[in-house]
Amino acid sequence: MPDHLSWLRNLHIEVVVFDLGNVIIPVDFEKTAQAFVSLGGKKAIELYHYAGQSHLFEELERGEVSREEFINQVRPELNYASDTSIVEAWNAMLYHVDHSIFDCLDKLRPQFKTYVLSNINTYHAEWVGKAMRTAAPNKDISQYFDHVFYSHEIGHRKPENGAWQIIIEQKGINPQKTLFIDDKEENIEAAKALGFNVLHWNPSNDIRSVVDILLPS
């Protein structure tokens, strides 16, 4: 049992809410930044980066702009590349899905309600869906959790309070009996302010260790 997670056993929780990127699925934002550069030159490095993405990408994650609007807005910065090239560059940050992690997290469900709350957009959600089906054609991410909340579907992205409020209202969860796991400090602080138990996740760790802690041996 990892010593730094032993405190989780002292929690009295009924619900676990997972972030997706860099908690369950690895994400390398530099891959997209470099892919943009390869399409549009040095200026494109400013188009997107993890610490301060532009309003366009935030709007995409809230579902406020369509796929066509997104492509048309970024195309001038990318030397008017083709739709396919832009989407491939945008998806470059996603490169691997370990299906065994989903199978492991699914073991929590007899004892806990489990949800995903992810800042994600229609392109990346589509990529995840296809990647999930490579191992099992009839398997979808929603089958491993009680519900999956994608920001572009609910119209709110973390750390906006509305993202958590939708889960609270739709599922009737009690934040004080809920563990929220995320890799970004601003999301952790926002959840903590709403009364959630929080775990600031280090992407270099394996989320399966949380299952080992929460489930009785």
Per-residue model confidence (pLDDT) at position 48:
63
Residue 12 above 70 pLDDT?
Answer: yes
- At 3, is the pLDDT very low, low, confident or very high (cuts 50, 70, 90)? low
Residues of the chain with CATH 3.40.50.1000: 3-27+97-214
Residues of the chain with CATH 1.10.150.240: 29-91
Q: Quick one: tokens of 21?
A: 């990127």
Distances in Å between the Cα of 49 and the Cα atoms of 45, 56, 79, 204 are: 8, 12, 19, 20
Q: What is the pLDDT of residues 62-115, one digit of tens each?
A: 999 999 999 999 898 899 999 999 999 999 999 999 999 999 999 999 999 999
Fold of 3-27+97-214: Rossmann fold (3.40.50)
Q: Which of 208, 200, 39, 175 shows the shortest CA–CA distance to 107?
A: 208
Q: What is the pLDDT of residues 141-186, one digit of tens each?
A: 999 999 999 999 999 999 999 999 999 999 999 999 999 999 999 9
Per-residue model confidence (pLDDT) at position 153:
98
| pTM score above 0.75 | yes
Per-residue model confidence (pLDDT) at position 49:
56
**Which superfamily does CATH assign the domain made up of 29-91 to?**
Putative phosphatase; domain 2 (1.10.150.240)
Q: What is the pLDDT of residues 115-129, one digit of tens each?
A: 999 999 999 999 999
Q: Could you give phi then psi for residue 182, rounded to 5 degrees? A: -155, 155
Per-residue model confidence (pLDDT) at position 51:
42
Q: Could you give phi then psi for residue 197, rounded to 5 degrees? A: -75, 135
Beta strands in 10-65 (DSSP E): 15-18
CA angle 184, 116, 63 (to 5 degrees): 80
